[in-house]
Structure 1
Amino acid sequence: MNIGIEATSTYFPNEIETAAVLAEKTGIPENVIIDKFGLYQKHVADDTMHASDLAIAAARPILAKVDPLSIDVVIYFGSPHKDYHVWSSAPKIQYELGTKNAYAFEIMNVSSCFPIALKVAKDMLKSDQSIHNILLVGGCKESQIIDYDNPRSRFMFNFADGGSAVLVKRGAKMSDILESAITTDGSFHDDVRIPAGGSKRFASFETVEKREHYIDVVDPAGMKARLDPLSIPYFTEVIRKSLKKSGFTPEDIKILLPLHTKRSMFRELLQSLNLPEEKALYLDHHGHMSALDPCIGLHFASEQGKLEPGDIAVTVSAGTGYTWAATVIEWKGEKT
């Protein structure tokens, strides 16, 4: 019996930061933010909404149609920047959603995690016949970790806030989750991080004064010189491998669902696969939300009628460290 995604849902906070606002914060011209960085606007959460709350809000529409007591597992796959440090949001999400029969846990691989989470959910359902329904939920409030006064990292202004969720089950009528491919190049493990707050540099008055609790890039020029020649080849590799394992080729792709990147990288990726832009979903009105981007793209593709029965979609993402991951989905389109 097939294992697939049965339902998708998203949530975005009301507050919006436009390219004009971001231009004021960064000193980068508005037209450059739109044309080069591919961002017209992004959603930003207020002080009442955190990663767990955004994930909960995203999952509620699914559980309005599906009995919460039928969920066997709740997996949080979202941003590691959560409500608290050294804290699991999964139990809170399980409790607030009323999924009392589910056990809950988290997997985290920063921005690359959604294609990986699909593989984990599929493998769990395949190996354990007692599991029938898995709820994948993610939240992101990474707009909060940008230091606009730091020239090494303020280019990450596309970091945005939101939530997304999917229901994965055995016997799904909407889609089949096919194969995945994942690759890691750990030589980038030390390039991007929040310097303080962990065991290496525990929080102190000094770390706060030095603004070390925001995301930082140790050597932007050095990382770019090493990463640029590898990034598109690794993206292409995991996409092609996942498709080959699934019995398809890039020519079979109906829609590519990548994370949000600057526009030139997005176009380079499409060129490497010989795909036109209309065969990809680009989140230029939402920005980058950690691992959520391909999940949000899948929801938009479904809601906008971009997928028909038999179509092939590929979720693909990359996360600092660096890991590239892709998972193939075959659309069936039947909604319960």
Structure 2
Amino acid sequence: MKITLKSSAVWLPEQFEDAAFISKQNGVPVEVVATKLGIVKKCRAPKDIHPSDMAIRAAKSALKGIDPLSIDLIIWTGSEYKDYNVWSAGIFVQRELGLENAWAFDMAARCSTNVVGLKLAKSLMQTNPQIKRALLCGGHKTGDLVNYQDPKARFLNNLSDGGSAMVLERDGEGPEILESSVITDGAFSLDVIIPGGGTKMRTRDGVKAEDTYLQVPDIEGMRVRLEEKTIPNFMKVIKDAAVASMPERPIDYLALLHMKRSAHDMILDHLELKQEQSIYLDQYGHFGAPDQVLSLGLAERRGLLKKGDHVVLASAGIGYTWSAISLKWTEPCFQQSTLDGFEK
């Protein structure tokens, strides 16, 4: 039995913030924002478009030509910063899309949610014969969580808004989902937080505006620990997933989350990959989990993928979770119409 990627899509807002706008907000030179932080521009959704809306719009595109009653499972792989607190977005998506034969749940692994979600969905589909098709979808409006005036949180300035969706199928013709690898390290678990809104600082007790944004209490300590661990951990999950999946073939394409340019290039260098074997998302920003889906769509659009290619999706989520999963590419599966307003 094999689990395959039947269809995928993104939904991206037309609004954006560019390097000039961000520079004006954070006081960092435009050239530094565009080149070092790697943000030429990033997608931002209107105030009346919420994470569930983005997920539903992406899912509608991914489900084009697919019977909604054939979906057996829905996994929300979007942000925990959702329309409402303590809310099951996946079940709402089920209702809005008329997926009456499916059951749904939300999962979270920060920016690794899509990669971990693929691992989880594959396992569920392999062990439960009743699940023949699964929908993974989610929306992110994490651009709302960026405080440009906080220099400690500057590495989060790339956070953007958008949605993604993937339809998995048992024994289909699309790219096969292969093996995966995940590392978590609790030493980073309190490094990036939103102080307000949880049980430690309840909204009803009064929350200052700055405590509704992502904060980094110990930025220097985090930098030291990340410098020591993040590249080795990226290398381990990528190589472990790749070797377990297609040991006879090197990686042909790496779908990587957005990060500062130097870190992106360092990962490619360590893997001995060329620049054209990955796409740097400096025109889009860092959505979170949708980054890898967007990267696959762009690579397919630009003719970078061919039958038999070894593709690896890799990400890292605050907390910290490093993750990677391999695919064996077979045929196009991305709904390219969702990129028509962004790419020629």
Identity, % of aligned pairs? Answer: 38
User: Aligned with 1:152: secondary structure?
Assistant: helix
Task: Indicate the residue corresponding to 1:223 in structure 2.
Answer: 222
Tell me by how many angstroms 1:169 deviates: 0.7
Task: Indicate the residue corresponding to 1:235 in structure 2.
Answer: 234
1-side partners of 2:134 and 2:300: how far apart? Answer: 20
Task: Indicate the residue corresponding to 1:88 in structure 2.
Answer: 88
- The runs of at least 4 aligned residues of structure 1 exceeding 3 Å deviation read none
Tell me by how many angstroms 1:299 deviates: 2.1
Task: Indicate the residue corresponding to 1:77 in structure 2.
Answer: 77
Q: Deviation per CA, 1:19-39: give whole Å up to 9, x if none.
A: 111111111111111111111
Is the deviation greater in 239-248 or in 315-324?
239-248
Tell me by how many angstroms 1:334 deviates: 5.9
Q: Deviation per CA, 1:189-234: give whole Å up to 9, x if none.
A: 111010111111111464225x211100011111101111110000
Task: Indicate the residue corresponding to 1:63 in structure 2.
Answer: 63
2-side partners of 1:13 and 1:114: how far apart? Answer: 20
Task: Indicate the residue corresponding to 1:319 in structure 2.
Answer: 317
1-side partners of 2:277 and 2:217: how far apart? Answer: 35
Q: Deviation per CA, 1:284-317: give whole Å up to 9, x if none.
A: 1111111111122122222332211100110000
Task: Indicate the residue corresponding to 2:341 in structure 1.
Answer: none
1-side partners of 2:88 and 2:294: how far apart? Answer: 23
User: Aligned with 1:291: secondary structure?
Assistant: coil
Distance 1:335 1:193, change over 3 A: closer
User: Aligned with 2:134: secondary structure?
Assistant: strand
Tell me by how many angstroms 1:335 deviates: 5.8
Task: Indicate the residue corresponding to 1:30 in structure 2.
Answer: 30
Task: Indicate the residue corresponding to 2:172 in structure 1.
Answer: 172
If the length of structure 2 is used for normalisation, what is the TM-score? 0.94
After superposition, residues 1-336 of structure 1 pair within 5 angstroms as: 1-204=1-204, 206-208=206-208, 211-248=210-247, 252-333=250-331
C-alpha RMSD over aligned residues: 1.5
2-side partners of 1:160 and 1:195: how far apart? Answer: 20
Report the residue type matching 1:247 in the other structure: M
Report the residue type matching 1:135 in the other structure: L
Structure 1: state its 5+ residue gaps. Answer: none
Q: Deviation per CA, 1:28-74: give whole Å up to 9, x if none.
A: 11111111111111110111111111111111112221111111111
Number of aligned positions between the proteins: 334
Q: Give yes or no for contact 1:191–1:217 (8 Å, CA) kept in 2.
A: yes
Tell me by how many angstroms 1:248 deviates: 2.2
Report the residue type matching 1:88 in the other structure: S
If the length of structure 1 is used for normalisation, what is the TM-score? 0.96
Tell me by how many angstroms 1:321 deviates: 1.0
